[in-house]
Structure 1
Amino acid sequence: MAESLDMFHRAKQRTFSGLTRDAEHRWTGPFYFIQAADPQLGLMKAWKDGNCDGGGDEWTEEVELTKQAVEAVNRLRPRPRFMVLCGDLVHSMPGVKAVFSGHYHRNAGGYFDGLDMVVSSAIGCQLGEDTHGVRVVVVTADGVVHRYHSLEQLSTAGMDEDLRALLEA
């Protein structure tokens, strides 16, 4: 465990000790990835209203632009190796019932004053006993239902049947 924790302390002075010329000397061919930033849901309305400290109670424009970005990236050929989304994800959270995050590298969360904080474990390095996976989140008119799925389960069986049934209702 100590060795895996040390992995997160290897970045120093704009270098990463695991990414050396000796370790990465084999080139496997060109590739590309997509870097996107700052969907910042809610900022466009807040900016237009002149209330950037508050406001932002509508996300319509940013959601449409984000959909446009995803659709454009999905059409690219050859497909990018991966996509990284950086920066501010939200400006404000109108009517939010749950906040989903990562970075803890294990499943966790809590509930306070009507807000569910959901921390999903990692696709990559695990710091607990959770399997490598993703969280499936189903949003209906009645609420939000979410469950963590291992990559193996998702690949072989897909999402749980009860979650799939919610989409058909």
Structure 2
Amino acid sequence: MSAAEADGIFHRARGRTLDAFSSEKEREWKGPFYFIQGADPQFGLMKAWSVGDCDKGGDEWEQEIRLTEQAVHAINKLNPRPRFLVLCGDLIHAMPGIKAVFSGHYHRNAGGTYQNLDMVVSSAIGCQLGKDTHGLRVVVVTAENIVHRYYSLDELSERGLDPDLMELMKKK
């Protein structure tokens, strides 16, 4: 697979389907296959663990990056190639200078703050379990701040971003 093809595959998911696995091609059993399951690259944990302070010390990712690259190289050498890769578990442990964590799965807007770290839960594009509308969260990151706002799909389609968010994105 060329670099262009590899880059393009990430833009092929539509309607909860990845066209790399079309129903027409996958309709009938074509024999055994295998896939790779990886877990917990957890960038930042190795240093935190080595210094004995898992609440701090996660400011270096060098070891985890090296191991993740090693995993990718090992997978790319396999013949036959795996059908797909599933990566699950903790992706990061700590991030230098992290101010907010954004997540979903609650199907409603929620959040809180703990020790200067904001936890922001965005409601769903799909099924709503609360009173929030179907929507998306826009996050603007500047050198000084992180500003986020949830927009309904209709709001975002009809009027776009609010002027104050657009102002924040102007280069200074």
| TM tier, smaller | 0.5 to 0.7
Evaluate the alpha carbon distance shift between residue 93 and residue 155 of structure 1 in structure 2; reply closer, same or farther with a 3 A threshold. same
1:56-135 alignment runs, 5 A limit: 56-58=58-60, 86-135=88-137
Give the distance between the partners of 1:36 and 1:123, measured in 2 at CA: 27
1:1-169 alignment runs, 5 A limit: 29=24, 40-42=42-44, 46=47, 54=54, 55-58=57-60, 86-169=88-171
Q: Scaled by the length of structure 2, what TM-score is found?
A: 0.53
Evaluate the alpha carbon distance shift between residue 167 and residue 86 of structure 1 in structure 2; reply closer, same or farther with a 3 A threshold. farther
Amino acid at match of 1:97: K
Give the distance between the partners of 1:95 and 1:108, measured in 2 at CA: 22
Alpha-carbon deviation of 1:131?
Answer: 0.8
Amino acid at match of 2:44: G
| Residue segments in structure 1 that go unaligned for 5+ positions in a row | 1-26, 66-83
Amino acid at match of 1:146: H
Instruction: Give 1:7's aligned residue.
Output: none
**Matched residues, percent identical?**
65
Amino acid at match of 1:141: A
Give the distance between the partners of 1:127 and 1:89, measured in 2 at CA: 26
Count the aligned residue pairs.
121
Give the distance between the partners of 2:41 and 2:141, measured in 1 at CA: 20
Alpha-carbon deviation of 1:43?
Answer: 5.4
Give the distance between the partners of 2:24 and 2:141, measured in 1 at CA: 41
Conserved 8 A contact 1:43-1:52: no
Give the distance between the partners of 1:43 and 1:155, measured in 2 at CA: 40
Give the distance between the partners of 1:105 and 1:56, measured in 2 at CA: 30
Give the distance between the partners of 1:37 and 1:161, measured in 2 at CA: 41
| Residue segments in structure 2 that go unaligned for 5+ positions in a row | 1-21, 27-36, 69-85
Conserved 8 A contact 1:120-1:135: yes
Amino acid at match of 1:108: A
Alpha-carbon deviation of 1:150?
Answer: 1.3
Asked which structure has the greater CA Rg, the reply is 2
Q: Secondary structure at the match of 1:152?
A: helix
